[in-house]
Amino acid sequence: MPVQTTIPSVSAIREFVGKELGVSDWIQIDQQRINDFAQATDDHQWIHCDAERAARESPFGTTVAHGYLTLALAPTLLREIVTVEGMTSALNAGCEKVRLSTPVLAGARLRMSASLANARRIPGSGMRTTLSLTFEIEGEEKPACVARVHYIYFD
C-alpha cells in the first residue's frame, strides 16, 4: 500500500526538507514493459529483449530491464508518493548521482521511496527541489537504483 505525503502548498515544500515523503505501490516489470521501453528508446540489446538467449547466456538466466527504464518510472511513482496542493505545474529539471546497483530481472516488482533533500524558492513563483529516490526490488537486499532528482514546482 503506498504511503503518500500531501504538502499544502508550493511555499510549504521547504517544511518537508529532510523528511521521508513516502513509498509507492509495487509495480511489475514484465517482459512487455521491457520490450515497450526498448521500442521507445531503440535499445534492443539481447540481454533486455531476447528471453531465449538470455536464458542460455545471461548470468541472470533471464532478461533484465534497462537501467533507464527503472529511472524513467520516477515521475509516475513520485505522483503516488507526494501531492503538492495548489501547484499549477511541475518540471523535471534533471538528475544526478544515479547508481544502478542491482539488475531488475524480467518479472520482478519494484517500488520507490522518496525523501526531500533540498528546496529553494526561485524567480517566477517556483520551488526548486532535490529528491532522493530509492528503487527497491521485492525480495532483494540491495536497491535497483538510487538517484537524486530535481523538480521545480510552480504556484
- In tens, the pLDDT along 83-118 reads 999 999 999 999 999 999 999 999 999 999 999 999
Confidence of residue 123 (pLDDT cuts 50, 70, 90): confident
For domain 5-28+65-154, is the CATH number 3.10.129.10?
Answer: yes
What count of residues does the chain have? 155
What does the longest C-alpha to C-alpha distance in the chain come to? 55
Confidence of residue 1 (pLDDT cuts 50, 70, 90): low
Enter the pTM of the model: 0.93
Indicate whether 3 pLDDT > 70. Answer: no
Indicate whether 34 pLDDT > 80. Answer: yes
Ranges of each domain in the chain: 5-28+65-154
